[in-house]
Amino acid sequence: MDKLVVEGGKRLKGNVVISGAKNSALPILAATLLTEKESVIENVPQLRDITTMIRILRNLGAKVTQQDDVVTVKPGRQIKHVAPYRYVSVMRASVCLLGPLLGRLKQAEVSMPGGCVIGLRPIDLHLKGFESFGAKIKIEHGNVQAEAKKLKGADIYLGGPFGSSVLATANVMMCATLAEGVTRIESAACEPEIVDLANFLNAMGAKVKGAGSHLIEIEGVQKLHGAHHRVIPDRIEAGTYMVASAITHGDIYLEDCIPEHNNALIDKLSEAGVSFKRLGERKLRVTGKKALRSVDVTTLAYPAFPTDLQAQMMALMTVTPGINVITEKIYPDRFMHISELNRMGSRIFLEGSTAVVTGVKRLSGAPVMASDLRASAALVLAGLVAEGCTEIHRVYHLDRGYERIEEKLISLGAKIWREKE
């Protein structure tokens, strides 16, 4: 296993190119199974989760090639309908295979995703959606089995206790493209990744309208064909580099990012005193100031502040003078990073799903343990400003979601390296 070592104290400056969005690429790769024909997906980030998805597609019988950021998938006529536990257990997002497999083959069996360090992550909304199409669902031997003689479009309300669900919306939308008649998804997720997936489905010949709003309408078609698609930039990676600039009082130019996808973060960072300058459609300059002001943040579904940037924002708050408050409304238990940040000298107090962060003058480097992808990113950010060296263990979490992170940070002037444990 590898660990990352960060020596704090460098001001980050320069250009960083944002990679394709992991959370767009994963469902889009799953959606390629909706046809036997070949699809070509560009701007696919080279990440552990993507490698896992490619392995699953191959295991199901698809021919997949990967050349740099281009992935070509040709599922062919004969694909299997079972995605085994050994893959699903390492990546929850495998659940988004259910929709395309059920849509195309009228049967799907995917291992039920298990526990997750960021809290309970049920899939009841996904299953409710499939049942509305007339599918029979069974959970046996740890697997979700879905089967239908035929799928009929339906009106489906997908709101859950924490609002809309991204992958449930993706799953139901993918399945509906091949269901008979019209499906209306109410309380659909509005995330940019849903719009990206809908654009890909429409390029395949699907009839999806309204993606990006809470009401998505899909008119089922008999068959889909292959398509070419370019994945949108990763707004969470972009957001992480924005925080990197803020926390190091840096001056970073983000290239190939879509600033509107990060409006909630930009708004909060501006309130904290960070300045932003748009330089064309896909370029943004982010300049951190020495004197940061405290802010309060609540995570909610898009377009509000994303849960996937909560840990990174908390890292910034640890060195922002005054009292900062952060409330997590998507995953109330997503706070594994707090105890690790406190080992570095931060002052964070957790009450329910609200963390109160009192800014300190300095953090001090320490050995810390990464628990999940975004928590790991927060520890790297904290390490960038801590005195001395921070060792981040279990770095494989980071490799699931940040493409070439050390290389990108080094090019911005950070002192960071990987060591074998």
Q: Whole-angstrom Cα distance, residue 232 to residue 69?
A: 12
Decide whether 308 or 391 has the Cβ nearer to ligand EPU: 308
The full DSSP string for 158-224 is: --BTTB--HHHHHHHHHHHTTSBSEEEEET----HHHHHHHHHHHHTT-EEE-BTBSEEEEE--S--
Is 311 a residue that touches ligand EPU (CB under 6 A)? no
Residue 400: phi and psi, rounded to 5, are -70, -30
Rounded least distance, CB 322 to ligand EPU, Å: 28
The full DSSP string for 283-297 is: EEEEE--SS----EE
Is 268 a residue that touches ligand EPU (CB under 6 A)? no
Decide whether 300 or 410 has the Cβ nearer to ligand EPU: 300
Decide whether 273 or 303 has the Cβ nearer to ligand EPU: 303
Decide whether 306 or 365 has the Cβ nearer to ligand EPU: 306
Our separate counts of H helices and E strands in the chain read: 14, 24
User: Collapsing DSSP states into helix, strand and coil, what is residue 55?
Assistant: helix
Beta bridge pairs of residue 16: 254
Residues 365-394 that bind ligand EPU (CB under 6 A): 373-374
Is 26 a residue that touches ligand EPU (CB under 6 A)? yes
Task: Copy the structure tokens of residue 314.
Answer: 């908390």
Position among 308, 340, 399, 406 found at the interface with ligand EPU (CB under 6 A): 308
Give the length of the chain: 421
Is 402 a residue that touches ligand EPU (CB under 6 A)? no
Is 324 a residue that touches ligand EPU (CB under 6 A)? no
In the residue annotation, 116 being an active-site residue is answered as yes
Rounded least distance, CB 330 to ligand EPU, Å: 5
Position among 3, 10, 81, 126 found at the interface with ligand EPU (CB under 6 A): 126
Decide whether 101 or 125 has the Cβ nearer to ligand EPU: 125
Rounded least distance, CB 406 to ligand EPU, Å: 19
Is 331 a residue that touches ligand EPU (CB under 6 A)? yes
Q: Could you tell me where the beta strands, DSSP code E, fall in 249-385?
A: 251-255, 275-278, 283-287, 296-299, 323-328, 347-351, 354-358, 367-369
Is 25 a residue that touches ligand EPU (CB under 6 A)? no
Position among 168, 254, 344, 398 found at the interface with ligand EPU (CB under 6 A): 168
Decide whether 16 or 167 has the Cβ nearer to ligand EPU: 167
Is 183 a residue that touches ligand EPU (CB under 6 A)? no
Contact 392, 409 (CB under 8 A): no
Q: Whole-angstrom Cα distance, residue 305 to residue 94?
A: 25
Q: Which residues bind ligand EPU (CB under 6 A)?
A: 23, 26, 93, 120-126, 160-162, 165-168, 189, 306-308, 330-331, 373-374, 401
